[in-house]
Structure 1
Amino acid sequence: MIRTNIELLEYIEAFRNSIHYFIEEEIQKEQKIIYQNRNSSFGYIIKNGIAKCFLTDENGNDFIQEFFSEGELFGEIEIINNTNNFCTVESISEMTVYKISKTNFQYLLENDQKFNNLIMKSFAKKIQYKAVRHSYNQLHSIKSNLFRLQQSTLDFMEIISKNDIASYLGISLRSLNRILKDKS
């Protein structure tokens, strides 16, 4: 499922010219924006395009946590907790993002009630999404999980590579190809 947060994006776009905290930046396809276990000076809100958020284990295997698109925020947890990045975020397509410094992000959290509420809603939606996703994955077969992904975004298989779909489902590319072959 490709996550969006249009309400946050609309808020940023409505006020970005008056508060000047958000810097628009172009991101190339397959460019890493933040790196796992490294510090980042910015939080990011996606204006357009798609990114993947993934964790790399000690054996070098990637597990995709989420796919982000318009309005989704990343890097915020690390800003709030003042920690290194938990995951790597990499663009799947060309993207435009709004980036905001740690200082400005924290200032808005403390002084802009609407911004604070939107960030809280974003956290709540992320927690809810992960809870539903993980419980669904535990209770259903990989084939059912793949079908659910395809239903959530009609052109999912054209947007997201097979390798990324396999990483998202926590299976090998070979297993994914076998499921797709059996399905056809």
Structure 2
Amino acid sequence: MVRVNSDLLVYVNKLYEAGSCKYFTVQDYQPKEKVIRQAKRVLSVYIIKSGIAKCYLSEDNGKDFIQEFFSEGEIFGEIEAINGQISFCAIEAITNLQVFQIKNEDFHELLKSDRKFNDLILKAIANKVRYKALRHGYNQSHAIEDNLMRLINEFPNLLLQISKQDIANYLGITIRSLNRTLNEMKAKGLTGGG
């Protein structure tokens, strides 16, 4: 649900703190502030130092589909940096967000010169693909209550840190369906919130 990448965060932190890597700067974003806008040119790659962000696609019918929630160590903007295309999703801070930012040209240089960094980026991209396939398969083959219980089990602070609208957009359901399911779960004693 809320993805983390501890290995990448530890390595980038090490590079940054040692001062041996001139590439990274640290940037702060407030809740609801967009880091990347959909269908825009992306000039940097970002690795989350702290906080939670959402990656979403706004459809032409005005609805948002949340692809993923990112937290510590997760990377975004790397696909656009690699393929040179505009962003297909937006990234927005949910909580106070602090990121390591690296310009695209520096990202490419680091990929070529630092084997460990390159390996960690390849692993991060592979994990994104794997996670999406597993998540979509699970969501399609299970009821809303099962999907919601899975999210709450994976992320106990779900209802405290992520809005109901974002949860509904992540599950691909309406807010009404989400509220109905939460009320049914509360009546069964499965969750204390609603």
Alpha-carbon distance in 2 for matches of 1:153, 1:75: 25
Provide the C-alpha distance between the structure 2 equivalents of 1:183 and 1:2, rounded to a whole number of angstroms: 22
How many residue pairs are counted as aligned between the two chains?
Answer: 184
**C-alpha separation in 2, matches of 1:45 and 1:61:** 27
**How far did residue 138 of structure 1 move?**
1.3
Write out per-residue CA displacement over residues 27-49 of structure 1, whole angstroms, 9 at most, x where no aligned residue. Answer: 11110000110001101000000
2:192 equivalent in structure 1 = none
User: Any residues of structure 2 matched to 1:3-14 within 5 Å, and which?
Assistant: 3-14=3-14
1:52 aligns to what SS in structure 2? strand
Aligned-residue offset at 1:160: 0.6
Letter in 1 for 2:161: I
Whole-angstrom distance in 2 between the partners of 1:62 and 1:21: 33
TM-aligned CA deviation for residue 86 of structure 1: 1.1
Q: Give the CA deviation at 1:121.
A: 0.5
Q: 1:75 deviation in Å?
A: 0.4
> For 1:30, which of 29, 32, 41 is the aligned residue?
32
Residue 68 of structure 2 aligns to a residue whose secondary structure is strand
**1:68 aligned onto 2:60:** no
Q: Which of 111, 115, 119 is the aligned partner of 2:121?
A: 119
Moved beyond 2 Å, runs of 4+: none
Unaligned runs of 5+ in 1: none
Q: Distance in 2 between matches of 1:15 and 1:147?
A: 38
CA shift, 1:181, in A, is 1.1
> Structure 2 unaligned runs (5+)?
187-194
Secondary structure class of the residue paired with 2:107: helix
TM-score (norm 1): 0.98
Q: Distance in 1 between matches of 2:23 and 2:34?
A: 22
- Matches of 2:180 and 2:8, distance apart in 1: 39
Aligned to 1:100, what secondary structure does the other structure show?
strand
Letter in 1 for 2:8: L
- RMSD between aligned residues: 0.7
Shift of 1:183: 1.3
2:112 to 110, 113, 116: 110
Instruction: Please report how far the alpha carbon of residue 60 of structure 1 lies from its aligned counterpart in structure 2 after TM superposition.
Output: 1.2
Q: C-alpha separation between the residues in 1 aligned to 2:99 and 2:21?
A: 17
Q: Distance in 2 between matches of 1:182 and 1:148?
A: 16
Q: Deviations over 1:3-54 (max 9, x none)?
A: 0001101111111221110000111111000011000110100000000000
Which residues of 2 match residues 133-152 of structure 1 at below 5 A?
Answer: 133-152=135-154
**2:52 alignment counterpart:** 50
* Cα deviations by residue, 1:101-149 (Å, 9 ceiling, x for unpaired): 0000011111111010000110111111111101101111111101100
Could you say which residue in structure 2 is the equivalent of 1:89?
A: 91
Counterpart-to-counterpart distance in 2, 1:60 and 1:38? 18
What is the aligned-residue identity percentage? 49
Q: Structure 2 CA distance, aligned partners of 1:135 and 1:15?
A: 37
**Counterpart AA for 1:50:** I
Which residue matches 2:79? Answer: 77
